[in-house]
Amino acid sequence: MKIKFLITSFLLIIICSIAEAQSSKGWYDHSRMTSGRKTHYDDFVDSSQKITGRFNVLGMLDPYDENFSIGAEYKFSPHWSSGADVAYIFNSAYLSDSKHCQGFILRPFIRFYPNTSRRGYFEVELHYKHVAYQLTDWLGKDVVDGIPSYEEYTTFHFIKNAYGVNIKAGSSTNLTKDRRFRLEYYLGLGIRFKKQHADNGSYSPDKETLIGLYRPNYATTVLPVGIRLVYDLKTL
Protein backbone atom coordinates (compact mmCIF):
# COMPACT_ATOMS: atom_id res chain seq x y z
CA MET A 1 0.00 0.00 0.00
CA LYS A 2 2.84 2.42 0.83
CA ILE A 3 4.52 1.69 -2.50
CA LYS A 4 1.27 2.34 -4.38
CA PHE A 5 0.78 5.57 -2.46
CA LEU A 6 4.30 6.78 -3.28
CA ILE A 7 3.98 5.87 -6.97
CA THR A 8 0.59 7.56 -7.27
CA SER A 9 1.80 10.65 -5.38
CA PHE A 10 4.83 10.91 -7.68
CA LEU A 11 2.55 10.61 -10.71
CA LEU A 12 0.27 13.36 -9.40
CA ILE A 13 3.23 15.68 -8.77
CA ILE A 14 4.37 15.20 -12.37
CA ILE A 15 0.86 15.81 -13.70
CA CYS A 16 0.39 18.96 -11.62
CA SER A 17 3.80 20.25 -12.76
CA ILE A 18 2.83 19.74 -16.39
CA ALA A 19 -0.51 21.46 -15.77
CA GLU A 20 1.19 24.45 -14.17
CA ALA A 21 3.70 24.70 -17.01
CA GLN A 22 0.95 24.55 -19.61
CA SER A 23 -1.08 27.13 -17.73
CA SER A 24 1.85 29.57 -17.51
CA LYS A 25 2.38 29.49 -21.28
CA GLY A 26 -1.26 29.16 -22.27
CA TRP A 27 -1.81 32.75 -23.37
CA TYR A 28 -1.98 33.61 -27.03
CA ASP A 29 -2.97 36.49 -29.28
CA HIS A 30 -6.44 35.85 -30.60
CA SER A 31 -6.55 39.15 -32.50
CA ARG A 32 -9.00 38.26 -35.23
CA MET A 33 -11.70 37.26 -32.78
CA THR A 34 -10.93 39.45 -29.80
CA SER A 35 -9.48 42.63 -31.31
CA GLY A 36 -5.97 41.98 -30.09
CA ARG A 37 -6.91 40.89 -26.55
CA LYS A 38 -4.70 38.12 -25.23
CA THR A 39 -6.79 35.19 -24.12
CA HIS A 40 -5.96 32.04 -22.23
CA TYR A 41 -6.56 28.92 -24.33
CA ASP A 42 -8.52 27.33 -21.46
CA ASP A 43 -11.28 29.88 -22.17
CA PHE A 44 -11.98 28.29 -25.56
CA VAL A 45 -13.44 24.83 -25.07
CA ASP A 46 -14.22 22.77 -28.14
CA SER A 47 -17.99 22.27 -28.15
CA SER A 48 -18.00 19.63 -30.90
CA GLN A 49 -19.25 16.10 -30.32
CA LYS A 50 -16.51 13.85 -28.99
CA ILE A 51 -15.65 10.60 -27.24
CA THR A 52 -13.34 10.85 -24.23
CA GLY A 53 -11.51 8.10 -22.34
CA ARG A 54 -11.17 8.33 -18.53
CA PHE A 55 -8.89 6.84 -15.86
CA ASN A 56 -9.60 7.36 -12.14
CA VAL A 57 -6.18 7.93 -10.55
CA LEU A 58 -7.29 7.57 -6.92
CA GLY A 59 -9.17 4.29 -7.38
CA MET A 60 -6.01 2.32 -6.62
CA LEU A 61 -5.72 4.17 -3.30
CA ASP A 62 -9.32 3.63 -2.18
CA PRO A 63 -9.05 2.98 1.59
CA TYR A 64 -11.82 0.36 1.49
CA ASP A 65 -11.96 -1.28 -1.94
CA GLU A 66 -8.86 -0.74 -4.10
CA ASN A 67 -9.84 -0.75 -7.75
CA PHE A 68 -8.68 -0.08 -11.30
CA SER A 69 -11.23 2.21 -12.93
CA ILE A 70 -11.60 3.24 -16.57
CA GLY A 71 -14.49 4.75 -18.49
CA ALA A 72 -15.72 6.79 -21.42
CA GLU A 73 -17.75 9.95 -21.97
CA TYR A 74 -19.77 10.83 -25.06
CA LYS A 75 -20.37 14.56 -25.42
CA PHE A 76 -23.37 14.68 -27.74
CA SER A 77 -24.09 18.44 -27.50
CA PRO A 78 -22.28 21.60 -26.34
CA HIS A 79 -23.92 21.34 -22.90
CA TRP A 80 -24.62 17.64 -22.37
CA SER A 81 -22.75 14.35 -22.21
CA SER A 82 -23.22 10.84 -20.84
CA GLY A 83 -21.05 7.84 -20.17
CA ALA A 84 -19.95 5.28 -17.60
CA ASP A 85 -17.01 4.10 -15.53
CA VAL A 86 -16.25 0.44 -14.85
CA ALA A 87 -13.87 -0.67 -12.11
CA TYR A 88 -12.33 -4.00 -11.10
CA ILE A 89 -11.83 -4.42 -7.33
CA PHE A 90 -8.64 -6.34 -6.62
CA ASN A 91 -8.00 -5.71 -2.92
CA SER A 92 -9.90 -4.50 0.13
CA ALA A 93 -9.49 -3.36 3.73
CA TYR A 94 -13.26 -3.18 4.27
CA LEU A 95 -13.26 -6.43 6.25
CA SER A 96 -10.00 -6.97 8.12
CA ASP A 97 -10.56 -10.76 8.33
CA SER A 98 -10.89 -11.15 4.57
CA LYS A 99 -7.91 -12.89 2.94
CA HIS A 100 -9.11 -12.35 -0.61
CA CYS A 101 -11.78 -10.35 -2.40
CA GLN A 102 -13.03 -9.75 -5.91
CA GLY A 103 -15.67 -7.46 -7.34
CA PHE A 104 -16.64 -4.65 -9.68
CA ILE A 105 -18.15 -1.16 -9.73
CA LEU A 106 -20.43 0.32 -12.39
CA ARG A 107 -21.10 4.08 -12.52
CA PRO A 108 -23.25 5.42 -15.41
CA PHE A 109 -23.64 9.20 -15.45
CA ILE A 110 -25.13 12.18 -17.24
CA ARG A 111 -23.28 15.51 -17.21
CA PHE A 112 -24.26 19.14 -17.79
CA TYR A 113 -21.81 21.88 -18.86
CA PRO A 114 -23.45 25.23 -17.95
CA ASN A 115 -21.19 27.28 -20.21
CA THR A 116 -19.23 26.00 -23.20
CA SER A 117 -16.53 28.62 -22.62
CA ARG A 118 -15.79 27.19 -19.15
CA ARG A 119 -14.49 23.86 -17.86
CA GLY A 120 -16.95 23.41 -14.98
CA TYR A 121 -19.71 20.82 -14.95
CA PHE A 122 -22.47 19.22 -12.87
CA GLU A 123 -23.08 15.50 -12.89
CA VAL A 124 -25.62 12.95 -11.70
CA GLU A 125 -24.10 9.49 -11.30
CA LEU A 126 -25.66 6.13 -10.44
CA HIS A 127 -23.52 3.73 -8.42
CA TYR A 128 -23.53 -0.07 -8.16
CA LYS A 129 -20.86 -2.15 -6.39
CA HIS A 130 -20.63 -5.92 -5.98
CA VAL A 131 -17.85 -7.47 -3.88
CA ALA A 132 -17.28 -11.00 -2.60
CA TYR A 133 -15.00 -11.23 0.46
CA GLN A 134 -13.48 -14.60 1.31
CA LEU A 135 -13.68 -15.38 5.03
CA THR A 136 -12.87 -18.38 7.23
CA ASP A 137 -15.01 -18.46 10.37
CA TRP A 138 -18.00 -20.04 12.08
CA LEU A 139 -20.98 -19.99 9.70
CA GLY A 140 -24.58 -20.64 10.76
CA LYS A 141 -26.27 -23.49 8.88
CA ASP A 142 -29.89 -24.60 8.28
CA VAL A 143 -31.26 -21.16 9.11
CA VAL A 144 -34.96 -21.05 10.11
CA ASP A 145 -36.57 -17.65 10.81
CA GLY A 146 -33.12 -16.09 11.09
CA ILE A 147 -31.86 -18.65 13.62
CA PRO A 148 -29.22 -21.23 12.56
CA SER A 149 -29.59 -24.85 13.68
CA TYR A 150 -25.84 -25.28 14.07
CA GLU A 151 -22.52 -23.66 13.16
CA GLU A 152 -19.72 -24.94 10.95
CA TYR A 153 -16.16 -23.63 10.76
CA THR A 154 -15.61 -23.17 7.05
CA THR A 155 -14.43 -20.89 4.26
CA PHE A 156 -17.18 -18.91 2.56
CA HIS A 157 -17.91 -15.66 0.73
CA PHE A 158 -19.52 -12.62 2.33
CA ILE A 159 -21.33 -10.73 -0.43
CA LYS A 160 -21.78 -6.94 -0.46
CA ASN A 161 -24.07 -5.15 -2.92
CA ALA A 162 -24.23 -1.36 -2.77
CA TYR A 163 -26.64 0.85 -4.71
CA GLY A 164 -26.62 4.62 -4.74
CA VAL A 165 -26.64 7.98 -6.48
CA ASN A 166 -24.11 10.84 -6.45
CA ILE A 167 -24.48 14.50 -7.35
CA LYS A 168 -21.13 16.06 -8.28
CA ALA A 169 -19.58 19.33 -9.35
CA GLY A 170 -16.17 19.52 -10.98
CA SER A 171 -13.75 21.18 -13.33
CA SER A 172 -10.56 20.37 -15.25
CA THR A 173 -7.06 21.58 -16.07
CA ASN A 174 -5.46 21.13 -19.47
CA LEU A 175 -2.25 19.10 -19.56
CA THR A 176 -1.47 19.66 -23.26
CA LYS A 177 -1.78 22.74 -25.45
CA ASP A 178 -4.32 21.10 -27.78
CA ARG A 179 -6.57 20.53 -24.71
CA ARG A 180 -7.07 16.83 -25.52
CA PHE A 181 -5.32 15.58 -22.35
CA ARG A 182 -6.74 16.94 -19.09
CA LEU A 183 -6.74 16.49 -15.33
CA GLU A 184 -10.31 16.43 -14.00
CA TYR A 185 -11.30 16.88 -10.35
CA TYR A 186 -14.66 16.71 -8.58
CA LEU A 187 -16.52 16.86 -5.27
CA GLY A 188 -20.02 15.68 -4.48
CA LEU A 189 -22.59 14.21 -2.14
CA GLY A 190 -24.27 10.82 -2.36
CA ILE A 191 -26.24 8.10 -0.61
CA ARG A 192 -25.60 4.35 -0.47
CA PHE A 193 -27.95 1.46 0.26
CA LYS A 194 -26.05 -1.70 1.17
CA LYS A 195 -27.25 -5.31 1.26
CA GLN A 196 -24.89 -7.94 2.67
CA HIS A 197 -25.08 -11.68 3.33
CA ALA A 198 -23.07 -14.87 3.49
CA ASP A 199 -23.44 -16.98 0.36
CA ASN A 200 -24.25 -20.27 2.10
CA GLY A 201 -25.50 -19.61 5.61
CA SER A 202 -25.88 -16.99 8.33
CA TYR A 203 -22.93 -14.89 9.50
CA SER A 204 -22.96 -12.53 12.49
CA PRO A 205 -19.50 -12.25 14.05
CA ASP A 206 -19.15 -11.45 17.74
CA LYS A 207 -16.95 -8.39 17.27
CA GLU A 208 -18.34 -5.22 18.77
CA THR A 209 -16.00 -2.88 16.92
CA LEU A 210 -16.86 -4.36 13.53
CA ILE A 211 -20.44 -5.55 13.96
CA GLY A 212 -21.79 -2.59 11.96
CA LEU A 213 -19.88 -3.72 8.89
CA TYR A 214 -21.85 -6.97 8.78
CA ARG A 215 -25.37 -5.57 9.07
CA PRO A 216 -27.63 -7.15 6.38
CA ASN A 217 -29.13 -3.83 5.27
CA TYR A 218 -28.27 -0.23 5.96
CA ALA A 219 -27.97 3.20 4.34
CA THR A 220 -25.26 5.81 4.63
CA THR A 221 -24.21 9.12 3.08
CA VAL A 222 -20.92 9.48 1.20
CA LEU A 223 -18.70 12.32 0.03
CA PRO A 224 -17.29 11.36 -3.38
CA VAL A 225 -14.11 13.28 -4.16
CA GLY A 226 -11.35 12.50 -6.63
CA ILE A 227 -9.31 13.23 -9.70
CA ARG A 228 -9.05 11.48 -13.03
CA LEU A 229 -7.08 11.69 -16.24
CA VAL A 230 -9.15 12.23 -19.39
CA TYR A 231 -8.16 12.14 -23.06
CA ASP A 232 -10.25 13.03 -26.12
CA LEU A 233 -10.12 9.87 -28.21
CA LYS A 234 -12.20 11.02 -31.16
CA THR A 235 -14.00 14.13 -32.40
CA LEU A 236 -17.16 13.34 -34.36
Confidence of residue 132 (pLDDT cuts 50, 70, 90): very high
**Residue 24, pLDDT above cutoff 70:** no
pLDDT (0 to 100) of residue 172: 92
**Residue 13, pLDDT above cutoff 80:** no
Q: Are strands 38-40 and 121-141 parallel, antiparallel or unpaired?
A: unpaired
**Which residues have CB under 8 Å from 200's CB, separation 6+?**
139, 156
pLDDT (0 to 100) of residue 198: 92
pLDDT (0 to 100) of residue 93: 82
**Residue 134, pLDDT above cutoff 80:** yes
User: In DSSP terms, which residues pair with 229 in a beta bridge?
Assistant: 55, 183
For residue 40, the surrounding DSSP H or E stretch is strand 38-40
* CATH number for the domain formed by residue range(s) 2-30+38-235: 2.40.160
The verdict on pTM exceeding 0.85 is no
Confidence of residue 213 (pLDDT cuts 50, 70, 90): confident
Mean pLDDT within 106-134 = 92
Question: What is the residue-averaged pLDDT of the chain?
Answer: 82
Mean pLDDT within 141-147 = 83
CA 92/CA 128 separation, integer angstroms: 17
Mean pLDDT within 182-191 = 95
Each domain of the chain, given as residue ranges in start order, spans: 2-30+38-235
Tally Cβ neighbours within 10 Å of residue 41.
17
Confidence of residue 33 (pLDDT cuts 50, 70, 90): very low
pLDDT (0 to 100) of residue 47: 66
**Residue 32, pLDDT above cutoff 90:** no
pLDDT, tens digit (0-9, with 9 covering 90-100), for 65-74: 899 999 999 9
CA 220/CA 194 separation, integer angstroms: 8
Mean pLDDT within 59-70 = 88
pLDDT, tens digit (0-9, with 9 covering 90-100), for 36-48: 555 554 455 566 7
pLDDT (0 to 100) of residue 34: 47
**Residue 30, pLDDT above cutoff 50:** no
**Which residues have CB under 8 Å from 23's CB, separation 6+?**
40, 42, 173, 174
